[in-house]
Structure 1
């Protein structure tokens, strides 16, 4: 659309950045860490978007999906789609997050509680 001073410029729509895709090819949690593969010896193809280049450069230092989105000023869903494209092309890798702590068995906790109660009442 044009105005009195030429074409109107505004923020780029997310579907333009993602090539029309609304869902990533794989699931990435917001805390998933992204890291560049061989940052010194590889360069992105000329067809890579500005946002993909910025994401790739930032991930030379390991960053989570959420941190990357904040630095780029984009939504997490858009960054996830861009990251998946770079992962599929072999330019980024994911590093697994710290595994969640396993909760102890409820029966063991009950036995400990019963033992403590017996000691207090004795």
Structure 2
């Protein structure tokens, strides 16, 4: 088995020994660059910011694939960048279902022949 990571840096070195992100992030959590690259950023933070700046809104899974990094490491790096407000995560709009529409659909389903 060959590793594609050119520098072969262990995950615990990349995250300063941390195993958990400061936020709950899923693989489908979207992030977008919100500010310029922070001064003194780690190489991984620079890579994440670079990809987000070029590609726009990306999920954690997409970032991990583009950077060829473990998703667990990407979650920690992204979490740090979210905490420092260099990345932002767009919140999905909470859609409140229209009760009248739901009742109409339910009545239509009940009217279908069995």
TM over 0.5: yes
Query: Under a length normalisation based on structure 1, what TM-score does the superposition of the two structures give?
Result: 0.70
Kindly state the Cα deviation for residue 95 of structure 1 after the two structures are TM-superposed.
1.4
Which deviates the most, 90-99 or 54-63? 90-99
Separation in 2, partners of 1:97, 1:65: 16
Separation in 1, partners of 2:91, 2:52: 15
From the two aligned structures, give the one with the greater strand fraction. 1
Identify unmatched segments of 5+ residues in structure 1. Answer: 1-8
Q: Does 1:116 align with 2:112?
A: yes
Separation in 1, partners of 2:16, 2:32: 23
Task: Report the equivalent of 2:37.
Answer: 43
**CA RMSD of superposed structures (Å):** 2.9
Q: Structure 1 residues 79 and 44, CA, compared in 2 at 3 Å: closer, same or farther? A: same
Identify unmatched segments of 5+ residues in structure 2. Answer: 1-5
Kindly state the Cα deviation for residue 69 of structure 1 after the two structures are TM-superposed.
0.4
Which runs of structure 1 show a deviation greater than 6 angstroms over 4 or more consecutive aligned residues? none
Quick check: which has more Rg, 1 or 2?
1
Q: Does 1:32 align with 2:29?
A: yes
Task: Report the equivalent of 1:6.
Answer: none
Separation in 1, partners of 2:31, 2:90: 6
Does the CA contact (< 8 Å) of 2:26 and 2:60 recur in 1? yes
Kindly state the Cα deviation for residue 43 of structure 1 after the two structures are TM-superposed.
3.1
Separation in 2, partners of 1:29, 1:97: 14
Query: Under a length normalisation based on structure 2, what TM-score does the superposition of the two structures give?
Result: 0.74
Q: Structure 1 residues 10 and 54, CA, compared in 2 at 3 Å: closer, same or farther? A: closer
Number of equivalenced pairs: 103
Q: Structure 1 residues 31 and 97, CA, compared in 2 at 3 Å: closer, same or farther? A: farther
